[in-house]
Amino acid sequence: MKRLLGIEFHKFRYSKSSKVLTVIYLTIVVLLMLTGMIRINFNQFSGSLSDLGIFNFPLIWHITTYFTSFLKIFIAIVLVSLTANEYSNRTIKQNLIDGLSKKELILSKFYLALTLAILTTLVVFVASLILGLIYSDFNEFSIIFSQMGYLGAFFLAHLIFFCFCLFAGILVKRSAFALGFIAVWYIFEGILNLIARGVDQFYDTSIYDVLLHILPLNAMSNLIKQPFTKIDLVQSTMNQLPIEGIEFGYDIEWLDVVSVCLWSVLFIYLSYKLLKTRDL
């Protein structure tokens, strides 16, 4: 494993796009941390974002993982281009000729995806911890480290997305088209969701609830649910509105965890099958 990871990081280190996008990723994470200082005016409320209580432990775990989740697209672009460029530079062929087996090749890519998922989770963990220690109103040890499940969900969401990117890169072989494929797939899931909702309304079925857990990107984004309605200010505002009976769930659902893990395995397996059956 060490050897395979060494091979993959060698490729990662000397690729220009990976450097640029990693820097962009880190910059945005740091900038997001600084948003705590922004002062806002909202609903007779005036103060900085931190006064909203969003940086309080343990809510901060939910807030930061939810927002930084969107940044995974930057890392994903790196992964897609690293994988697809192996085809366009035909280095994948050379790797195999040099004595890397097809299994090792996929494994090395998977290890890279795994490591990147772990690293991004770590970055977000450290960033949130610092942010929380500065702004949080509660600083008891047990409160700080409660509800850490969001970080686990964050890691899994990244892992499945990276595996999906890897699969797209190997399937489509051109980085631009592979990114296109991911976008098209995202839209495809969106359309399926709309249709399902329509059908549910007409025939009183619950297809949408099933799709929400079964489709890979659905399950991925469903892992960490929106945290807005958890914020005190929003909550109190909503309570003033004459809407009754809306319940928001925030918990990570086991069904999503299982679904995401299965999809990750499936993507890696399919990538291997593709590589094995295709002539280079």
Partner 1 sequence: METILEINQLHKTYGTLTAVDHISLKIEKGHVYGILGPNGSGKSTTLGMVLNVVNPTSGDYKWFEGTTSNHDALKRIGAIIEHPNFYPSMSAVQNLELVCKIKNINTSKIIEKLTVVDLLSRKHSPFKSYSLGMKQRLAIASALLNDPEILILDEPTNGLDPQGIRQIRDIIQKIAASGTTILLASHLLDEVEKVCSHVLVLRQGKMLYSGPVDEMNRNHGSIFIDAADRDALHTFLKDKPYAGSITRHDDGLEVKLYEDVDNAQINKEAFESGLVLNKLLHKKQSLEDQFIELTNQN
Under the criterion CB under 8 A, does residue 23 sit at the interface with partner 1? no
Under the criterion CB under 8 A, does residue 46 sit at the interface with partner 1? no
Under the criterion CB under 8 A, does residue 146 sit at the interface with partner 1? no
Among 35, 53, 104, 207, binds partner 1 (CB under 8 A): 104
DSSP label of 252: P
Residue 220, C-beta contacts closer than 8 angstroms, at least 6 positions apart? 157, 160, 161, 260
Of 12-20, 183-191, 248-256, 263-271, which segment contacts partner 1 by CB under 8 A?
A: 12-20
Side-chain-facing half-sphere of 87: CA atoms under 13 Å? 22
| CB count in 10 Å sphere of residue 142 | 9
Distance of CA 87 to the CA centre of its chain: 25
Closest separation between CB of residue 5 and partner 1, Å? 10
Of 11-19, 25-33, 59-67, 69-77, which segment contacts partner 1 by CB under 8 A?
A: 11-19
Query: Which residues ranging from 70 to 99 are in contact with partner 1 (CB under 8 A)?
Result: 89-91, 93-99
Burial of 18 (0-12, 13-18, 19+ CB in 10 A): buried
Binding mask 196-225 for partner 1 (x = CB under 8 A): ------------------------------
Q: How far is CA 237 from CA 55, 57, 234, 240, 242, in A?
A: 19, 22, 5, 5, 11
Under the criterion CB under 8 A, does residue 11 sit at the interface with partner 1? yes
Under the criterion CB under 8 A, does residue 1 sit at the interface with partner 1? no
Closest separation between CB of residue 278 and partner 1, Å? 8
Residues that bind partner 1 (CB under 8 A): 3, 6-7, 10-11, 14-16, 89-91, 93-102, 104, 276-277, 279-280
